[in-house]
Structure 1
Amino acid sequence: MKMRRHHYQQDEEVGIDLTPMLDVVFIMLIFFIVTSSFVKESGVEIQRPQADTASARDKGNILIAVTAEGEVWIDKQVVDVRSVRAHVERLRLRLDRPDGAVLVQADRDARTGLVVQVMDQARQAGVADVALAAGTGVP
């Protein structure tokens, strides 16, 4: 009796499955996006006054800049000093951090009265931690 050899052709080609590698890449991408910290800016460049006793602290969640020309900048736009409270309340809700801080970055030539008004508006918005930014005296 004669035996026949059957050769079966494979319909599928042998290849490398890239699905697990893509899963790992996407998980790493999500990890880096979640753990990265973004630099927050008020929207305008100011010259902070120098102070020898200034101490470094964590950045505020909401940055407000007061320029020498009397402009108030929040979230990269010029706002009226009377609307600072509303803007801070809106940003606190958007950031979902009710215990967040406000950092006022006043130019060294800014009017003191305007800076005090801005800080007062931030406190009226319910922020307990309002700080004034200063540069260190050490270069």
Structure 2
Amino acid sequence: MRLRKRRERMELESAQIDMTSMMDVVFIMLIFFIVTTSFVKEAGIEINRPAASTAQRQELANIMIAVSDAGAIWIDGRQVDIRAVRANVERLRAENPEGSVVIQADEASRTGILIQVMDQVRQAGVQNVAVAASRP
């Protein structure tokens, strides 16, 4: 009797699937996808982009700077002063040296602030600067 119960218990234990190796594979795949995914960093505010019929998509834009209609400058979800744009761009550029900068200026923003932001970005060593526009 004891031998029969023991044999039945061993058969039940051996019928279970070992999930350890499958969980390891899933975990490694998850890490792979997290590392290889490029995240788009938004500037932090919604703006009304001006329309341009020749607008082109910028693929490697990883630094987004927004200029609101009131003249506020937003980088990486935070409002910054014009004097802090260069330091922020240098910091973000150190994280991804291959990327470029896209300035999202509201259509009602002042051109002078846009030029100051572009100047700060170029002083930070970035030559690939684009101004965002939407197609009409």
Do Structure 1 and Structure 2 share a fold, with TM-score over 0.5?
Answer: yes
Structure 2 spans left out of the alignment, 5+ residues: none
RMSD between superposed Cα atoms in Å: 1.9
Residue in structure 2 matched with residue 105 of structure 1 by the alignment: 104
1:59 Cα offset (Å):
4.5
Measure the CA separation in 2 of the matches of 1:37 and 1:127.
20
CA contact (8 A) 1:84 1:121 kept: yes
Measure the CA separation in 2 of the matches of 1:76 and 1:133.
17
Q: Calculate the TM-score normalised by the size of structure 2.
A: 0.85
1:6-58 CA distance string (max 9 Å, x none): x7967964232221111121122223323334332100000000011112221
In structure 2, the residue corresponding to 1:136 is in which secondary structure? coil
Residue 35 and residue 98 in structure 1: after superposition, are their counterparts in 2 closer, same or farther (change >3 A)?
Answer: closer
Measure the CA separation in 2 of the matches of 1:116 and 1:77.
20
Answering whether residue 90 of structure 2 is matched by residue 86 of structure 1, we say: no
CA contact (8 A) 1:100 1:127 kept: no
Identity %: 57
Q: Calculate the TM-score normalised by the size of structure 1.
A: 0.83
Residue 59 and residue 135 in structure 1: after superposition, are their counterparts in 2 closer, same or farther (change >3 A)?
Answer: farther
Residue in structure 1 matched with residue 34 of structure 2 by the alignment: 33
CA contact (8 A) 1:43 1:77 kept: yes
Q: Which amino acid aligns with 2:61?
A: G
Q: Which runs of 4+ in 1 moved over 6 A?
A: none
State the structure with more CA Rg.
1
Residue in structure 2 matched with residue 4 of structure 1 by the alignment: none
Measure the CA separation in 1 of the matches of 2:100 and 2:39.
16
Answering whether residue 38 of structure 2 is matched by residue 70 of structure 1, we say: no
Q: Which amino acid aligns with 1:109?
A: A
